[in-house]
Chain A
């Protein structure tokens, strides 16, 4: 039992799980929250799902030692693309969707190529593409439609798959989030791709020398994060039947906070999909769950800040615990070890 708990603490996501439990306890004790009502509520799950689909690839990039903040512009870019192509020009929704996802592939490729071809940190590169994309989206929508807000009506199949509500108010994107998480969990933690990813984040040059296709993986990861962002934007446009040009600056920090609370090491080489998933949930519970408490919601940012610091401190200490791990169950008795030594 003690061993099981010890092993749990050594997982990258342990800090996030404990933070989530801590936040819920805090809300129950100090906020008088009704847990059943909170669990049944859609607001925070919807919030988490919209953020979580982007947080997973952004987190993987962070594990690989890179950062992508252009996602802030890519979400509105995705929804505007669908709305302009299929709403303003009234092309079939399929074209709008392909255009939105294709835009993600293009911008992701640009981010990735610039990152591997130059020595400029990816934070700066994606800051550049972030601002550039904001300009492009605003200009394009003004030029093409004359407005900064465009309506779009999706046919029923697209509405069902990407913009419907499950039950009363849970968005279908929650399902997409779970699928994304499961697929990425499998690829990262069960397949060799994951090994390459961690090696890349641990020591890029050694990984390259070991024959890991570091450059190709960097580009792939940037494409995944940008495309995930346009996918979320696309779903939002289909759900709300319209899209607006917006800054999208807030989501950048929300995503990064979620990823870091989830136990991802900012400098790369450590993290997990489960951690990122739970980190996103934690962030969403703080951000949206506060409405279910008696706590003045103006405090929510303070709580998020404190959670971030506490979670990161926990992650730090759990990581050093993981480094000092000597499993008791597999180690032979000390006498045997001493005898084995010459």
Chain B
């Protein structure tokens, strides 16, 4: 795997906002058909990292490479044109618009000529329904249905299907499962696997270790703007990862404390700290 040229690579990227350094020497790479899980607690710098990758921010130092060639994005649109698609929690879907219109917002298929060019609703609906079904969402059968009536997982899946259809090569998923229930999250994870199977490079941002373990090939843990750990699937256990995210051994310490307390207090747990 290591001899392949990564689709997207960051080399020692720093990002500062004025005097505040947010990212320190971030080096990451993601290959085709691979899921890179970016783990980190709130405030670890995940959002800044995503925004740097997707062209919202520019790195202060360091370089970004696509297919081995240096790139720099001045606007999100430039990153999108290069095939970097970012899907946020609600995935840029519009609740009061139909599935077909959502899918093609900004890239509508048209028919006719000149000033009488019309939005090809049937074509849009057909493609949209086809594409989401191919991603495994069989519940969406009507392109005229309003997206607000879909579940959170389905909306997320619609957004991913859209990114895949419009030729994304790198898919950045920003906490896609954070607001979802167990079943819905499983749904989204299936879609992530499907995107990976199709050869996309997926960057999956989450703080839920279980979800990361389910799809990830490669893991990077972000703490205070720096990569604290970088390892491949199977090299670390869930507990180790959770500990890392919480900032080293503190989680284990906490657990040990609780266990010690329980041993001396007839199995009762300590009062939570206030």
Binding site for B on A (CB under 8 A): 190-192, 194-196, 198-199, 202-203, 205-207, 209-212, 265, 269-270, 319, 322-327, 330-332, 337, 340-342
Inside 8 A of B110's CB, which chain A residues have their CB?
Answer: 191-192
**9-residue interface stretch from B98-106, B209-217, B232-240:** B98-106
By secondary structure, the B interface counts as loop
**4 smallest beta-carbon distances between A and B, as pairs:** A202-B94, A210-B106, A206-B92, A192-B108
Contact residues in B for A322 (Cβ distance below 8 Å): 96, 146, 149
Interface assignment of B117: CB less than 8 Å from any CB of chain A: yes
B93 CB contacts on chain A under 8 angstroms: 203, 206
Shortest beta-carbon distance from A198 to chain B in Å: 5
Contact status of A210 and B105, CB under 8 A, knowing A191-B119, A198-B96: yes
Asked if B96 and A265 sit within 8 Å, CB to CB, the answer is yes
B107–A191 touching, CB < 8 Å: no
Q: CB-nearest residue of chain A relative to B106?
A: A210
Report whether B106 and A199 are in contact in the complex, using a CB–CB cutoff of 8 Å.
yes
Within 8 A of A (CB), among B123-139: 136, 138-139
Docked CA distance A211–B108 (Å): 11
Taken together as a complex, chains A and B put the C-alpha atoms of A217 and B46 apart, in Å, by: 33
Q: How far is the CA of A205 from the CA of B142 in the complex (A)?
A: 26
List which B77-96 residues lie within 8 A (CB) of chain A.
77, 80, 86, 92-96
- A190 and B92 form a contact (CB under 8 A): no
Residues of B within 8 A of A205 (CB): 92
* Chain B residues within CB distance 8 Å of chain A: 76-77, 80, 86, 92-97, 101, 104-108, 110, 117-119, 136, 138-139, 141-142, 144-146, 148-149
- A322-B107 Cα distance, complex, nearest whole Å: 24
Interfacial chain B residues near A198, Cβ < 8 Å: 94, 96-97, 101
When distances are taken between beta carbons in the complex, the residues of chain A under 8 Å from B149 are: 322-326
Known contacts A323-B148, A326-B145, A327-B145; A195/B105 CB under 8 A: yes
- Contact present for A191 and B139 (CB under 8 Å): no
Report yes or no: B77 in contact with A191, Cβ–Cβ below 8 A: no
Cβ-defined partner of A207 (8 Å) among B105, B117, B139, B142: B105
Residues of B with C-beta under 8 A to A269: 94-97
Q: Which chain A positions have C-beta within 8 A of B117?
A: 191-192
CA gap between A78 and B75 in the complex, in Å: 41
Contact of B142 among A191, A203, A326 (CB under 8 A): A326
Task: Tell me the smallest distance from the CB of B138 to a CB of chain A, in Å.
Answer: 4
Which residues from chain A contact B96 at a C-beta distance below 8 Å?
198, 202, 265, 269-270, 319, 322-323
Q: Which residues of the other chain, B, contact A211 by a CB distance below 8 angstroms?
A: 77, 80, 106-107
Q: Find the residue from A190, A202, A265, A325 having the highest chain B CB count within 10 A.
A: A202
CA distance A206 to B163 in the complex (A): 13
Residues of B within 8 A of A203 (CB): 92-94
CA distance A212 to B106 in the complex (A): 5
Q: Which of B95, B96, B146 is the most central at the interface, judged by chain A CB atoms within 10 Å of its CB?
A: B96
CB distance from B63 to the nearest CB of A (A): 24
